[in-house]
Amino acid sequence: MTKQYPTLSAIQSDLQQGVITVAGLVEGYLHNIKINEHLNAFNEVFEDEVLIYAEAVDEKIKQGTAGKLAGMVLALKDNICYKDHQVTASSKILDGFTSIFSATIVERLLAEDAIIIGRTNCDEFAMGGSNETSYFGPVKNYADHTKVPGGSSGGAAVAVQAGMCHAAIGTDTGGSVRQPAAFCGIVGLKPTYGRVSRYGIIAYASSFDQVGPMTRSIEDAALLLQVMAGADEYDATVSDVPVPAYPDNLGTSGKKKIAYLSEALTSPGVDPEVRQLLTEYIEKLKQDGHTVEPFSFEYMDYVVPTYYILTMAEASSNLARYDGVHYGYRSRNATDLESTYKKSRSEGFGKEVKRRVMLGTFVLSSGYYNAYYAKAQKVRRLIQTRTKEILNQYDFILAPTTPTPAFNIADHMKDPIVMYLEDIFTVQASLAGVPAISLPVRNNKDGLPLSLQLITKSFDESELLSFSKYVLELAKN
């Protein structure tokens, strides 16, 4: 195992002193990838080109022209386009497909001399909460190989967790950065919807999808967000709100008002150690002078069904483009246009993707649109309004990231409803479009990571990151 640096600044310090080189760092990560192949975290490793890039960055460091991410070795979730590289969203229907352009975030990362080491396994089209729906097989949790890593960005989380890269970029639709980060004991940030460009991200649900960093530290999450965020002429949904210097604003200021989700302490579905963790941190924050008060979210029973109705509807529309005609997988058994559509899609999509596409098509269909989709949009507005009301009274909402630690592989695959309920604490921020972060605070008695989640106002990532750093420092005491 190569040395695991806590922050990019620690790496850059050693680079400046000549203790290491970027090429040597990359070789160490490649070694870690090889010895951890059994975890199935990567769909592809860019082994040859990454060493060439590393040598080029080493030369830039010598010349004093290196970008702010020099020394940052990143993995990309396999639904993020990188020019002249394959991108499959871990689906058979895109197996072998090569992207002809790079996502905006990839261009911004490369411009600052980040090195992309490979593309990581994920749930197919980001649809899943355990990284078991991938065409390339499930990913295993580094902490316990019998456990899932979470989903859909499970491969990205494990790559960071097991030291196969320094950080990773995932996507979060309803918790797909935060939940695997929680299961793998790393930091996972979902920015405000519209803070980061979605151009070049394979869409699951367009009004929810958001790119987020997965890191070992708050400092690196702040730096990656700063590099990726901001207006983009290729994405009309991106905000032109100025991007703060997030890494420069990580000092806490004053005492905060925090609302904690009372249902997390009363729901029978919450693991006892998760409940104990939340209780413990409520007391720690109170003892440190913060105002910490309970709130009951009256729409808690509706957040998961609302989220799934809306995302499945959007998925059925977004995935219509994969038809066996334009690109991607085409069935060899097709004989005419209709059979090309039917056979390519039935053979190319996995079970969970087909379930969501069919349910999404149903809720959009004539006679059911008003009963399901239109009603879910109204409930989403209620959830947004109530969440913003709470955040107008409090600085943060505190809750567990997940109701349980990582569960056994195959445990939830037989019952999709049980799997969907794993998102109970993460989908509120996604429905409201506000930023949220998962913070690894300790392990349970079995050595599995446990995490807490903080939610705050739209575009208030500076305060969120600053207070998150404080909470993690509190965890060390």
Q: Answer yes or no: 152 catalytic.
A: yes
Token pair for residue 403? 């109701």
Distances (CA, A) of 60 to 8, 23, 63, 99, 175: 17, 12, 5, 28, 37
Choose, from 91, 130, 176, 451, the residue flagged as catalytic. Answer: 176
Look up residue 270 and give its DSSP letter. Answer: S
> At 98, phi and psi to the nearest 5?
-110, 130
Who's near 424: CB < 8 A, 6+ residues apart? 269, 300, 303, 304, 403
β-sheet bridge partners, residue 190:
436
> At 259, phi and psi to the nearest 5?
-105, 130
Exposure letters 330-353 (e unless 16+ CB within 10 A, then b): bbeebeeeeebbebbbebbbbebb
Who's near 216: CB < 8 A, 6+ residues apart? 4, 5, 6, 7, 160, 166, 167, 186, 187
Task: Identify the CA nearest to 25 among candidates 43, 10, 42, 38.
Answer: 10
Q: How far is C-alpha 140 from the geometric centre of its chain's CA atoms?
A: 17
Distance between terminal CA atoms of the chain?
A: 28
Who's near 70: CB < 8 A, 6+ residues apart? 12, 15, 22, 57, 60, 61, 112, 113
Taking the C-alpha atoms of 112, 231, 470 and 220 in order, what is their torsion angle to the nearest 10 degrees?
-20
Choose, from 77, 140, 147, 457, the residue flagged as catalytic. Answer: 77
Question: Residue 391 and residue 440: Cα distance in Å, rounded?
Answer: 23
263 three-state secondary structure: helix
Choose, from 102, 152, 430, 462, the residue flagged as catalytic. Answer: 152
Instruction: Read off the amino acid at residue 97.
Output: F
Question: Residue 183 and residue 214: Cα distance in Å, rounded?
Answer: 12
E strand segments, 298-374: none
Taking the C-alpha atoms of 428, 432, 435 and 437 in order, what is their torsion angle to the nearest 10 degrees?
0
Question: Residue 129 and residue 420: Cα distance in Å, rounded?
Answer: 7
| C-beta separation of 408 from 361 below 8 A | no
Q: Which residues are catalytic?
A: 77, 152, 176
